[in-house]
Structure 1
Amino acid sequence: MLTNTIEELDPRSESDPATVFEDSLSTIFSDPRVQHGEPGKYVLYKSEELGDFKLRLADPDPSNHSLFSHFVWNAALQAAELITTAEFNVAGKKVLEVGAGAGLPGIIAVYCDAEETVLSDYPVPEFLSNIQTNLEINLSRSQLARASVIGHEWGQTDDRLCTTRAGAFDKIIAADCLWMESRHDNLAKSVKTLLARDGELLAIAGFHTGRDKVAGFFDAAERAGLVRVKITEKDVEGAEREWVRDRGQEDPVERKRWLAIGVFRQNGL
């Protein structure tokens, strides 16, 4: 099960009423958690192929809590799995992770022989320094030489990242970055600017904030000129099914078990 690959290293007390309540709900309703960890605490990602990765979660200023970079989301776990199995093959490629949060997919990309990996997030010090900390915890000196961190606000194509690295990245990863509808066009604009010719975007998101929001970004990507390669749905148990824009009235608990996995390509013409 996807959520079995991560555990909290600094969990709240088992007697904490909030913990007891959450665990009870999960047991009774088979309600998988979509987010993992607590601000300023550590989680452990466990990969059968690559080993264990210790990740610190950011402890942002309250004004930045709404960006939700202080959790690891199921979409990041799924991205890490796809990179590890080479279903999204990064070997020998220049990779960018946007909205990196704790940086798990980017770190896995380094381990899977990406030529270069750049991890980006909203340009505030507590986010960027936290990603750098996770690189230093998990990467060797030689691996650190192939990884870097940079701030980027989506849609700001006149910043340092976009002006110095336009068209530079063979692979871009966006894991659970799609819940802000007002930022869809900006995110698509950044991806379009930074993706190399014939480069690919991996965009993964859960349905916990609604299917319409996920579909909205896929539409934005195509409006920006990216070409849809495929979109599928996968649940936390590994079952797959066809992507459907509207499944009618979905059970809110069952919906949380599923992720949309979209791959888009930069038109090479």
Structure 2
Amino acid sequence: MSLIARIALTGPPAEDPEDFFCASLSVIFPDDVTNQHGDSEHGLLYTSPHLPEPLNISLAEPSGDTERELFSHYLWNSSLMLAETIEAGTLGLDLSSGSSSSLPSQSQSKLSQENGASPIASPASDFNITGLSTIELGAGTALPSIMSALLGAHRVVVTDYPAPVVIETLRRNVAVNVQPSLAPSGALAEGQVVEVEGHGWGELDSPVAQANKHAFDRVMAADCLWMPWQHANLLRSVDWFLGQGPTARAWVIAGFHTGRDKLSRFFVKETLAEKGLEVERIWERDCDGKDREWSWDRGIEDVSERKRWLVIAVLRRVL
């Protein structure tokens, strides 16, 4: 099953010629993959076979160029990938034959490898969020955070740029979808706390930053690497919020649609080391769940092919 098969538009039917054209792209260009979903007039329905009911995702309506340039008014494939990976890891699913499968690592049994498991990806169990605390940076629609809350995370903090329309949309998505009736178990984690806060990357004097230094087991960032000039600030926030224990991890996923060079700069070993971080595992996965080795340079990449792939990285503290 394709990564984007879980997404459907809600709202009024398309009337603008541009809307009709966009909706027809998959027919006109069958090898092309849509990597951004929805708009301010059409929400999204996210249907997982492992959730009792679909999730209703609203999208922000940017009011100016600054807010529009954040591109938080779309759901990106990186968020879809992270949400499915968390789901697979937490529920113990074997999705090796489907989209965004969480596949065993090289340390898994020979039998698993013979059955098609990937020696490249992290083990599925590494993405189990049961009982953990998570924070999402640049959350956009908050889908990975919503999934974390429904699957049993103890504390979930959702952040994005502190623009009122962005934060309002996040709060609406959390309120509508973080409900016991939508959790696979029929209940949320006992004593669970879910918060939505504004946070500009690298701005560490804000209330949410001051109250949560090294407070999280997992830091999540989906499709946040397309602005190289913000990498240093994003890394400052990752370092600030990530716990200092040996099991703390940051999950960074991004699509290649803006170019490999822009993304790769974030993973430079020396830059990460300045914050006491290192890459534990990094690989590439396409929208059909196929894994391949991470590459710093694949030469000239076809645009349609490039859009199919995402990088998945797991960062940890250098101990």
Q: Check whether TM > 0.5.
A: yes
Task: Give the aligned partner of residue 229 of structure 1.
Answer: 280
> In the aligned structure 2, how far is the partner of 1:222 from the partner of 1:74?
28
**Equivalent of 2:75 in 72, 77, 81:** 72
Task: Give the aligned partner of residue 41 of structure 1.
Answer: 42
Whether 1:173 aligns to 2:175 is: no
Q: How many residues align?
A: 267
Q: Which amino acid aligns with 1:83?
A: I
Q: Please say which structure displays the higher CA radius of gyration.
A: 2
**Equivalent of 2:241 in 177, 194, 204:** 194
Structure 1 residues 215-224 or 228-237, which shifts more? 215-224
Q: Which amino acid aligns with 2:88?
A: T
Task: Give the aligned partner of residue 301 of structure 2.
Answer: 250
Residue 11 of structure 1 deviates from its aligned partner by 5.7
> In the aligned structure 2, how far is the partner of 1:12 from the partner of 1:225?
50
The secondary structure found in structure 2 opposite 1:169 is coil
Whether 1:205 aligns to 2:254 is: yes
Structure 1 unaligned blocks of 5 or more: none
> In the aligned structure 2, how far is the partner of 1:47 from the partner of 1:232?
24
Runs of 4+ in 1 over 3 A off after TM superposition: 141-145, 220-223
Does the 8 A contact of 1:76 with 1:175 survive in 2? yes
Residue deviations 1:217-254, cap 9 Å, x none?
12244443211111111111111100101000111110
Whether 1:266 aligns to 2:317 is: yes
The secondary structure found in structure 2 opposite 1:7 is strand
**Equivalent of 2:205 in 148, 152, 158:** 158
Residue 27 of structure 1 deviates from its aligned partner by 2.1
Residue 72 of structure 1 deviates from its aligned partner by 0.2
Residue deviations 1:91-138, cap 9 Å, x none?
111000110111100000001110100000001211111111111111
Does the 8 A contact of 2:82 with 2:222 survive in 1? yes
Does the 8 A contact of 2:158 with 2:196 survive in 1? yes
Structure having the higher strand fraction is 1
> In the aligned structure 1, how far is the partner of 2:23 from the partner of 2:41?
21
Structure 1 residues 44-53 or 164-173, which shifts more? 44-53
Whether 1:18 aligns to 2:57 is: no
User: What is the TM-score with the length of structure 1 in the denominator?
Assistant: 0.94
**Equivalent of 1:52 in 36, 51, 54:** 54
The secondary structure found in structure 1 opposite 2:47 is strand
**Equivalent of 1:125 in 135, 152, 164:** 164
The secondary structure found in structure 2 opposite 1:85 is helix
Task: Give the aligned partner of residue 28 of structure 1.
Answer: 28
> In the aligned structure 1, how far is the partner of 2:73 from the partner of 2:273?
29
| C-alpha distance 221-71 of structure 1, shift in aligned 2 (>3 A) | farther
**Equivalent of 1:110 in 149, 160, 166:** 149
> In the aligned structure 2, how far is the partner of 1:102 from the partner of 1:177?
13
Whether 1:61 aligns to 2:63 is: yes
- Percent identity over the alignment is 40
> In the aligned structure 2, how far is the partner of 1:212 from the partner of 1:117?
32
